Amino acid sequence: MAWCSIKDVRNAPTVLHLDMDAFFAQAEQASKPSLRGKAVVVGGLGPRGVVATASYEARVFGVHSAMPMAQARRLAPNAAYLVPRGAFYRRISDQVMALLRALSPLVEPLSLDEAFVDLEAGGAAWDSESARLAGVRLRADIRAVTGLTGSVGLAASKMLAKIASEQAKPDGLVLIEPGTERSLLAPMSVRTLPGVGPATGDHLRRAGIATVGEMVEAGEGELVRMLGKAHGHALYAMALARDDRPVVAERETKSVSVEDTYDVDIHDRVRVELEVQRLADRCVRRLRGAGLSGRTIVLKVRRYDFSTLTRSETLRGPTDDPAVVREAAARLLDAVDTTGGVRLLGVGVSGLADFTQEDLFAQAAEVRAAEVRVADVRAEGPEEETPEGPAVAGVAPAEHRWRPGHDVRHAELGHGWVQGSGLGRVTVRFETPESEVGRVRTFRTDDPDLAPAEPLPLVRRRPDGAPAVDAAGQGPAVGPRQGSGR
């Protein structure tokens, strides 16, 4: 069940938007002393990899999110290029979200590093001054608990709070006073408004509308004529700073999916089939981890020419049976022509429920056959973890264990992280979040004293010297707050 704020019109800036600064890259810098103050780029490192996050030091060179990794390397050849550590980022995100929920029961996460908070619902703020104090205190708590920085925007609506947090970056706080919204928006680019992407922005620009103020001057009728009724009405309202969308907690999950992009197009049909089976298994693991089941199986195929096909099949009832999902995905693949090669595959489940129902499609022989196929896939080698889950690396198993940025432990030298590997060698820097800059050593990839390790937590301390996380490292242990009555 979702909970939301019910107040449509606010007269105080009590909607807070938090956006952690360059989250993945900042987490890596906090974890690795040798990277602090240096250019760090996190993302896929293969030929078709893209940038997930770039530190502000890397952005100076023009590197940004969603940029092809090959282009990033040309712009910043001396930056540290790391593979994401999804579980590590989720652990920090859980700590941040716990701090937000201490402020209000109405927290709407948008991603691992971004969320809206209704401060009024939690009694944390009721006017501009109390909202500002809540934002200042939140940023201080985040730094104390995680050692990371986040930017905060405060306004009377979600749209404006998000705009404010963008203005606050990095490591700042901006509050938009009610009554000043239209004058603030007027000189801004139309691209500032939600729903105005490159295509819509170009369309408006060709009509002589480049700013939000010019959008208002054009009038609602003109926007409807240009963009259609629904889009035109919505954008005109936003240009007038009208946004009554509530903060919604416990947003309902609509689907669970996984996908992989391959460094080299897959031409072998048998390999494509095996990949789909592996993705189906990953999807079910994620589905079960969320305590869900689903009725509709979805297959996504992006071909060599970038054309994308989506096929779906709806079952008689919800399931979380891996054999059933594998079989449905295989049936969907039978209807797709993969001649010419495949660059991306994905499997998803929608029509979600919190219960399962025995599925009549799965037969014992088919289950056994599916298990054999999955066993064949697993024999190909281990998987690489990304923020979205494992992904096939496409490299030899001996090299695959040593991914740049990932954690290792040496029997004598202790904890470290991989700086690079190749030609049967792996280079490791031995340091921890609390150590000085560590020394670098190189080993054979099959060195028996070297093994992959779990990430170390970012242990921070409060002014009283106590750890800022509990003994298990599971969440914040911030001190009690004074009550906030009006």
Among residues 114, 181, 259, 327, the one annotated as catalytic is: 114
**Cis peptide bond prior to 387, omega within 30° of 0:** no
Active-site residue, 388 included: no
Q: Nearest CA to 35 among 78, 72, 80, 69?
A: 80
Q: Which residues pair with 249 in a beta bridge?
A: 3
CA dist list (Å): 428 to 64, 352, 409, 455 = 27, 43, 10, 14
Name the residue type at position 354.
D
Which residues lie closer than 8 Å to 223 by C-beta, 6 or more apart?
215, 231, 232, 233, 235, 236
Q: CA quadruple 77, 82, 84, 89: dihedral positive or negative? A: negative
Rounded to 5 degrees, φ, ψ at 251 are -55, 135
Name the residue type at position 330.
A
Cα-to-chain-centroid distance, residue 200: 25
Rounded-to-integer distance, Cα 20 and Cα 52, Å: 14
Report the SS3 class of residue 483: coil
Most distant pair of Cα atoms in the chain: their distance:
73
CA dist list (Å): 379 to 17, 264, 372, 376, 398 = 45, 20, 11, 5, 13
Rounded to 5 degrees, φ, ψ at 400 are -65, -30
Q: Which residues pair with 82 in a beta bridge?
A: 42
Give the residue numbers marked as catalytic: 114
